[in-house]
Amino acid sequence: MPDRLSVRKTYKLYIGGAFPRSESGRSYPVADPKGNFVANASQASRKDVRDAVVAARKAFGGWSARTAYNRAQILYRVAEMLEGRRAQFVDELRQAGASKSQAAAETDAAVDRWVWYAGWADKLAAVTGSANPVSGPFFNFSTPEPTGVVAVLAPDSPLLGLVSTVAPAIVSGNTAVVVASEPAPLAAVTLAEVLATSDLPGGVVNILTGRRAELAPWLASHLDVNAIDLTGVADDQEKALREAAAENLKRVLRTAPGGWDAVPGTERMTAFLEVKTVWHPMGI
């Protein structure tokens, strides 16, 4: 039997629930740690950033309006599908330089962390909200609400770092535009395939691959982005991005190097929440 031709995968962007090529038509080579060619990934442009923000904004109303319990169900379904494609993620992490045991451990940790955040969807309001004592015949409640569109500059950990920054951003009802790891983007595109075939509505998560230094300034300065996570940004870029984000008073989250890998807590979720206080007369 003659040898079969290799069927090479084309790695694209993930915007609005679809997989378009970059508007620019550009791509860049992804190599393993030894410099061997692995694949070509799309190199997103400023126009792709704008398209992703439009998709995230369009999806925000529906996603934030869902019940917390329903969001928990959907995110848990994503975890189920991550587990079902475990072997593929392990293979892609090995291409990024991890040993077999390291790749398996990172994949398992990523699934576990996604489940952990999914479990918070219907508990976050109880922990972060409150009934406030007031002097008068009123009920006074403080309740958390999602901020809006969150830009996530993911760290270079191909899968666990990606999950650790994306899951807490969307669990409370935000939508996200994510710039994946530049040197190791393939697991991010595979995660996009999981999201596209789960119950997660298109546009809730949009994943861009390409040059972080090129894409980050456009996200930081975009007036329809409400918050930005600078976890994956180099120290010498942080100041300029903070200044750009200040133009429309974006919330900014900056995690210390390696901080995303700590035992997860509520901090990454509450960073992208706003608190609304409501007064209501008693007895009416």
Query: Please, what are the domains in the chain?
Result: 37-281 (3.40.605.10)
Block residue for tokens 């934030």: 64
145 bridge partner residues: 274
152 bridge partner residues: 178, 229
Nearest to 279 by CA among 174, 135, 151, 67: 135
Q: Look up residue 118 and give its two tokens.
A: 């999914």
Q: Tell me, what's the pLDDT at 154?
A: 95
The Cα 61–Cα 57 span in angstroms is 8
The Cα 202–Cα 64 span in angstroms is 13
CA 20, 232, 62, 199 dihedral sign is positive
- Torsion on CA atoms 217, 219, 222, 228, rounded to nearest 10: -110
Segment 11-55, tens digit of pLDDT? 999 999 999 999 999 999 999 888 999 999 999 999 999 999 999
Reported as a pLDDT band with limits 50, 70 and 90, residue 250 is very high
Q: Tell me, what's the pLDDT at 1?
A: 59
The Cα 28–Cα 15 span in angstroms is 19
In the predicted structure, residue 259 carries a pLDDT above the cut 80: no
Answer with the residue of higher pLDDT: 143 or 176: 176
Q: Look up residue 89 and give its two tokens.
A: 């993620």
∠ Cα 91 95 99 (to 5°): 75
Q: Tell me, what's the pLDDT at 131?
A: 82
In the predicted structure, residue 183 carries a pLDDT above the cut 70: yes
User: Which residues make Cβ contacts (< 8 Å) with residue 267, sequence separation at least 6?
Assistant: none
Q: Tell me, what's the pLDDT at 258?
A: 65
In the predicted structure, residue 283 carries a pLDDT above the cut 80: no
Reported as a pLDDT band with limits 50, 70 and 90, residue 257 is low
In the predicted structure, residue 280 carries a pLDDT above the cut 90: no
> What are the CA-CA distances from residue 34 to residues 70, 97, 121, 185, 187 (Å)?
44, 8, 41, 17, 18
What's 15's DSSP letter? Answer: B
Q: Tell me, what's the pLDDT at 139?
A: 86
The Cα 91–Cα 94 span in angstroms is 5
Segment 121-156, tens digit of pLDDT? 999 998 998 888 888 888 888 889 999 999 999 999
Q: What is the pairing mode between strands 273-281 and 138-146?
A: antiparallel
Segment 55-96, tens digit of pLDDT? 999 999 999 999 999 999 999 999 999 999 999 999 999 998
The Cα 219–Cα 209 span in angstroms is 14
Average pLDDT score over residue span 207-235: 96
Q: What is the mean pLDDT of the chain?
A: 93
Average pLDDT score over residue span 98-114: 96
Block residue for tokens 């109303």: 61
In the predicted structure, residue 284 carries a pLDDT above the cut 60: no
